[in-house]
Amino acid sequence: MEPTDIRAYQRQLVLFCLGIHGDSTAAEALELMGNAALEAGAPREAMLLTTAAAAGLLRELDREGLVRRCENRASGRDGRPVATWAVSDTGRVDSMPLPPSGQQQLAMPQLAPAPRHRTRGGLTMQQLMGLLNVEFDCMLEQMDREHQATQQRARQEFEAFRQRAMRVWAASEASA
């Protein structure tokens, strides 16, 4: 498995996922790609592992005109707006790409192969843990969004209370 094969697979996979899902942040694209790669049985070496790596890939594809940057979306997790991306007409991929084959490790070689016990769903333990990590990250993002919304509501309620208090104070000053 060559690095060029892996990069080509990642490029095709993100284009395919964006074509199905639509506008996505880098974190969402990473999750979509991870789920699709797990379902296809892709080796771990072929998967992007960080949001930063997914963002870099999306920027690369944007420079080539295969994706386009859309409106920013507020992110409670990042504390700032984050870019969303959509596949362009020239970048659209209609079928799920096949993962690269081969068992060559690109990172540090392992001393002994990890046991490949299958769970009831047919996933290996590593695949299951990867899926759980992605789900946990999604849960954290959702909790962050809910927390930001709660804070915003509290600010609005406080501002409304402050305005009412100022009107009462002004009225009491006028009558004195």
Per-chain mean pLDDT for the chain: 82
Domain count within the chain? 1
Is 132 within a domain?
yes
Q: According to the model, what pLDDT value does residue 167 have? A: 93
Residue 117 included in any domain: no
- The CATH number for 167's domain is 1.10.10.10
Residue 22 lies in a domain: yes
In the predicted structure, residue 137 carries a pLDDT above the cut 80: yes
- Supply the pLDDT for residue 130: 85
Domain that holds residue 95: 3-99+123-175
Q: Please report whether residue 107 resides in a domain.
A: no
84 within a domain of the structure (yes/no): yes
Residue 153 is assigned to a structural domain of this protein: yes
Residue 112 lies in a domain: no
Q: 54-84 pLDDT, tens per residue?
A: 888 888 998 998 988 888 888 777 778 888 8
Q: Residue 115 has what pLDDT?
A: 52
* Residues linked to residue 68 through DSSP beta bridges, in sequence order: 86
Burial class (CB in 10 A: 0-12, 13-18, 19+), 46: buried
Closest CA to 51 of 68, 70, 75, 21: 75
pLDDT, tens only, 46-59: 888 788 888 888 88
pLDDT at 125: 83
Q: Which residues have CB under 8 Å from 45's CB, separation 6+?
A: 1, 6, 104, 105, 106, 107
Q: Considering the domain boundaries, does residue 115 fall inside one?
A: no
Angle among Cα 119, 1, 88 to the nearest 5 degrees reads: 90
pTM above 0.85, yes or no: no
Cβ(41)–Cβ(102) below 8 Å? no
